[in-house]
Amino acid sequence: MNEKAKVAIPNPTVKNPESESKFTRLHFLGILLTLGGLALFGYFIYSVGLDEILSGIARIGFGGFIIILLIYFSRILIRSVAWKFCVGEPYKLSVFDTIQAVIIGEALSSLIPLGILVSGTAKAVAVRRRVPLVVGLSSVATENLFYSLGTGLFITFGAFVFLRTFELAEGWILTVNILIGFIFLLILLGFTMVVRQWHFASAICEKLYRKGFLTRFLEQGRKQVREFENLIYGFYRRYPKRFVPIFLLQIVFHALGIFEVWFILTKISDVLPNISTAFLLESISRVITIVFKLIPFVIGVDEAGAQFVTETLALGVGVGVTLAIIRKGRILFWTAVGITFILKRELSIAEIFKPLHSNK
């Protein structure tokens, strides 16, 4: 790579006590939530009954589980292609590069309590030999913006269907309406930020630096944050024709999630499911994944959400818990694949965490 393409990366050997303290608190919170999730998981296993769950899993069979793995792989492939489209010239990534990086990122996101904080960084680190780290991070962030938009609309529509499908208490109605309004507000804010190119992050870093806070970290860090923002906003200006294809890929990603739920339900439920049922279950799963992402494999809470919907729809005893456990099985499989890629590339957890602690 030529000298112009090189981007200065903060020195990771100098630690910032304030960021270390915040990270430790988050780590402690992640452990507490994980223990709570395990307790909740144990409760659902006990309440539904292990025999009932094993019977549902047996209905899937080996062939059915292979299909589930392929559906999940298709979703990974979709996001990998979307990320590829988010890399601007003169840099580029192949689908082969991005798909392995996405699997690595998803593996860490699922496996460790703070996975949500390192997933995007892990993807960028995984392709650091192809593109500079800041380019990798900005392209991941750009794809995440499209993903967030698609997910926000998906959850909003799911909440709307939920309100119209069930007779809910006033408190639930208010909560769901607040959720819908909040998501629309975030979407509007995101659009405005991109169109108007609001450099919030770099402005905050500059203000902190001038006031004498974190000066060693922000000496170079504030410039890199600005460059990071410019790369994201520059993508909006330079590649407007890519917006529709990337957004359509996000729609396909969620559609495959609905299809996966529907396929599993046809195998484990005595009641023939319809698409609206699968849609509600997948939208609830998305909300749970976002809210409780600190918990590895969203264990316990995913089962709780799925069981709530399946009981409400009268799909049968333990169907929701069985559904969530089967979906965890395919995540475990692809997490193992991701760990294999990490070992093959000789990546370490410390190396992936470095950009979160980096300082100068």
SS (H, E, C) 274-300: CHHHHHHHHHHHHHHHHHCCCCHHHCC
The pTM (predicted TM-score) of the whole model is 0.79
For the chain, domain boundaries: 14-357
The torsion angle over the Cα atoms of residues 320, 322, 323 and 324, rounded to 10 degrees, is: 90
pLDDT of residue 348: 67
SS3 261: helix
pLDDT of residue 72: 96
Contact 128, 49 (CB under 8 A): no
pLDDT of residue 295: 77
Whole-angstrom distance, CA of residue 45 vs CA of residue 324? 12
Handedness of CA 134, 139, 140, 145 (dihedral sign): positive
Whole-angstrom distance, CA of residue 360 vs CA of residue 224? 12
pLDDT of residue 8: 41
Give the CA diameter of the chain: 65
pLDDT of residue 161: 81
Contact 137, 120 (CB under 8 A): yes
Per-residue pLDDT of the chain (360 residues; tens, 9 = 90+): 444 444 444 444 444 554 455 556 666 776 777 788 788 888 888 888 888 888 889 999 999 999 999 999 999 999 999 999 999 888 999 999 999 999 999 998 888 766 666 888 889 989 988 999 888 988 998 898 889 888 988 988 888 887 777 776 777 778 778 877 888 888 788 777 777 777 777 778 778 777 777 677 677 677 777 777 777 777 878 888 898 999 999 999 999 999 999 999 999 988 888 888 899 889 888 888 777 777 777 888 888 888 887 877 777 768 888 999 999 999 999 999 999 998 887 776 666 666 655 544
Structure tokens at 7: 């981007």
Contact 285, 72 (CB under 8 A): no
